[in-house]
Structure 1
């Protein structure tokens, strides 16, 4: 698995604001949206395209258009929803599927509790959105789910990743034999005893949407 850390002053600036515990929720949402668009630019470098003929006001020329089938964007519920608009801003013709993952507290394995995806993903290029790659359970389960349905190229976009999560994801992908890459704004130091990324930015889902009381 190729891991790409996007190094750009604007990425660093927005990520620093996201990390701050004093950043209010509306600002946090807006920053996630903006940061994902920057990450998506890097993540779509290998998006599939076709050469087409174009008639300009002057003459005929060659151009590029996204290939069919369209890229499939898959946010992992619920926090991945906060990344969706930022991704679609860059690739508005992409199709969108949804995947809900939860950990079985007995087996500790990821389980799918909701999904809205085509049954056959053969030949599809998928972009998975999940703010935090911590233990790797949810993202790994999502990748496995997509591969089982036939996806043949997967790019995961995360705001932050922990080394432990990257290692787990790499282990899974070594068995799947499907091209996969991970695009992140930063790889942080470690996971703490509760599975939170350090220094991290807290619980992305709660900071995006709050806690329903």
Structure 2
């Protein structure tokens, strides 16, 4: 007889993912054992195996959930009625707001992706590419004469914007919504007009 799924299964799974992301971020994937993960999640080792049969499966679920939800949020920004500059600001702000509270997942993404098998990496990289393409399309509209016809420069510009956003948590840990709004404005204005625009 199949085991029934508890009513709070999804909630417990979410708690496990959040706690495990912190362990992987602090200890590193290689040093984290299932015993340590279970202890940090506040459950027994037997119970964590009820949800995940290995730490590899847990790592993939952390990153798949995080990147899929991030991709859906960023690529779902409503750009209707916005000119390219407004679209850039709205997207940059949404990325920063989506990053809020996800520092551990962000760190695990940077350090743990390579620990997964190629077929799983391909799924996760696909989510990343969707976001890169979304932002790239906006930047091409911002500077159609200089970027739209030069894919190398367009990619460099796109990755430079992501670079400014991806490490925000390093020098501004615990930044609240107001700080993220301010930084989104700075990044957008600097991207649009260079340092004099600040």
Q: Give me the TM-score of the superposition, normalised by structure 2.
A: 0.30
The structure that is helix-richer by fraction is: 2
Q: Give me the TM-score of the superposition, normalised by structure 1.
A: 0.29
The structure that is strand-richer by fraction is: 1
Task: Decide which structure has the larger Cα Rg and report it.
Answer: 2
